Amino acid sequence: MKITIKKATNKDLSGIMELIKDVTDYHYKIDKYYKPFSKYKGLDKYTKEQLKGKSVKMLVAEDDGKIIGRIVGVIIKPPPYVSPKKIGNIDDIFIKEAYRHKRTGEKLLKELLKWFKEKKIKHIRLSVDARNKIGVKAWKKFGFYDYRIEMRKDL
Amino acid sequence: MKITIKKATNKDLSGIMELIKDVTDYHYKIDKYYKPFSKYKGLDKYTKEQLKGKSVKMLVAEDDGKIIGRIVGVIIKPPPYVSPKKIGNIDDIFIKEAYRHKRTGEKLLKELLKWFKEKKIKHIRLSVDARNKIGVKAWKKFGFYDYRIEMRKDL
């Protein structure tokens, strides 16, 4: 097994869609409030747009030509209540289950942070499901801290 | 002291702006990442628009004609990754410090939830600063639970 990291291209689309299916269905399994992949229309079109976007960095991890992970970073305008004019947003990170605990996520993140720094980004944000304990723990290990909590009440 | 709750109108604007100043500067005190009130342009215009909005419910709490608290609920289209087509968002709640621990927040929230129910809303979300422990605790008491965590890293 030799994991390599590269910039995603249109050729990677089907491999990427497999990862998106995994992450989408993972959330649906946690909470039926999320859309399952089968009902989430337009994800392929959205991903193609991201692949063309100048403010987007999408990296994939490959094992012998097979896509086993990805990270997506986007430069966005933050909400009006904060000071910076632009910030980095981590849209998604996902590593196939069989490939975890091999620091692939860390490598993807390091590459992405390098890009954000080149783009003079000073603040990165992301949103993770509160019940995804492994995810929250991993982000903390990488120096992220709880900034805001999104809470819900179902009537 | 006799606290009454009523629908906010344009006449309440200056009292409401005082509350907005308090909540904005509270956040700036927690974290300089937030804009202080003095640099947050357009809040009065935004508030006036909300007062006219059909998908907005703004309630104020008064003590002898003086505004001492408010809550704002908005019906919004949620992000594409969730199933409901419309959800309720609690934009803001704030009670002046001297008037806390008198269940005014609870009364405002109950009125707002009644409105959301009339509008057939099944899910309410809100976002609270993770370091605002009193706020997080209060929302939990009112039946809200952690749904997503927004995390940040400063480069």
Q: Which chain B residues are within 8 Å of A131, Cβ to Cβ? A: 146
**pLDDT tens digits, one per residue of B74-109:** 999 999 999 999 999 999 999 999 999 999 999 999
Residue B79 sits in a domain of what CATH number? 3.40.630.30
Residue A144 lies in a domain: no
Min distance A128 CA to chain B CA atoms (Å): 5
Residue B151 lies in a domain: no
Burial of A69 (0-12, 13-18, 19+ CB in 10 A): buried
DSSP-derived 3-state class of residue A15: helix
CB atoms B127 and A151 under 8 Å: yes
Structural domain harbouring A10: 3-139
Cβ density class B92-105: b for 16+ within 10 Å, e for less: bbbbbeebeebebb
Min distance B92 CA to chain A CA atoms (Å): 12
Quick one: pLDDT at residue A41? 95
Residue B69 lies in a domain: yes
Residue A81 lies in a domain: yes
d(CA A96, CA B111): 46
Quick one: pLDDT at residue A128? 98
pTM: 0.95
CB atoms B127 and A148 under 8 Å: yes
Residue B16 lies in a domain: yes
User: What is the residue whose two structure tokens read 């991993």?
Assistant: A138
A61 touches A3 (CB < 8 A): yes
CB atoms B84 and A148 under 8 Å: no
Comparing CB atoms, the residue among B121, B131, B144 nearest residue A151 is: B144
User: What is the residue whose two structure tokens read 């976002």?
Assistant: B127
- Is ipTM > 0.85 here? yes
CB atoms A42 and B80 under 8 Å: yes
d(CA B130, CA B89): 18
Which pLDDT band holds residue B21 (cuts at 50, 70, 90)? very high
CB atoms A128 and B117 under 8 Å: no
**Which amino acid, A12?**
D
User: What is the residue whose two structure tokens read 């039946």?
Assistant: B143
Q: Which residue of A has its CA nearest to B140?
A: A151
Quick one: pLDDT at residue B22? 96
Residue A42 lies in a domain: yes
Quick one: pLDDT at residue A22? 97
CB atoms A83 and B34 under 8 Å: yes
Comparing CB atoms, the residue among B24, B128, B153 nearest residue A124 is: B153
Residue B111 lies in a domain: yes
Q: The tokens of B135 are what?
A: 């706020």
**pLDDT tens digits, one per residue of A77-122:** 999 999 999 999 999 999 999 999 999 999 999 999 999 999 999 9
Min distance B1 CA to chain A CA atoms (Å): 31
B68 touches B62 (CB < 8 A): yes
- Mean predicted confidence (pLDDT) in B36-46: 96
**pLDDT tens digits, one per residue of A112-128:** 999 999 999 999 999 99
Domain tally, chain B: 1
In the predicted structure, residue B1 carries a pLDDT above the cut 80? no
Q: How far is CA B129 from CA A52, B25, B113, in A?
A: 34, 13, 22
Min distance A88 CA to chain B CA atoms (Å): 10
In the predicted structure, residue A19 carries a pLDDT above the cut 90? yes
- Mean predicted confidence (pLDDT) in B68-76: 98
Comparing CB atoms, the residue among A24, A82, A154 nearest residue B123 is: A154
d(CA A54, CA A52): 7
- Mean predicted confidence (pLDDT) in B18-29: 97
**pLDDT tens digits, one per residue of A124-148:** 999 999 999 999 999 999 999 999 9
Residue A153 lies in a domain: no
- Mean predicted confidence (pLDDT) in B111-139: 97
**Sequence-ordered list of residues with C-beta below 8 angstroms from that of A58, at least 6 positions apart, any chain:** A7, A8, A16, A50, A51, A70, A71, A72, A73
CA geometry: angle A124, A45, A118, nearest 5 deg: 30
Q: Which residue of B has its CA nearest to A23?
A: B81
In the predicted structure, residue A1 carries a pLDDT above the cut 80? no
Helices (H), chain B: 13-30, 43-52, 104-118, 133-141
**pLDDT tens digits, one per residue of A23-66:** 999 999 999 999 999 999 999 999 999 999 999 999 999 999 99
CB atoms A40 and B84 under 8 Å: no
Q: Which residue of B has its CA nearest to A152?
A: B125
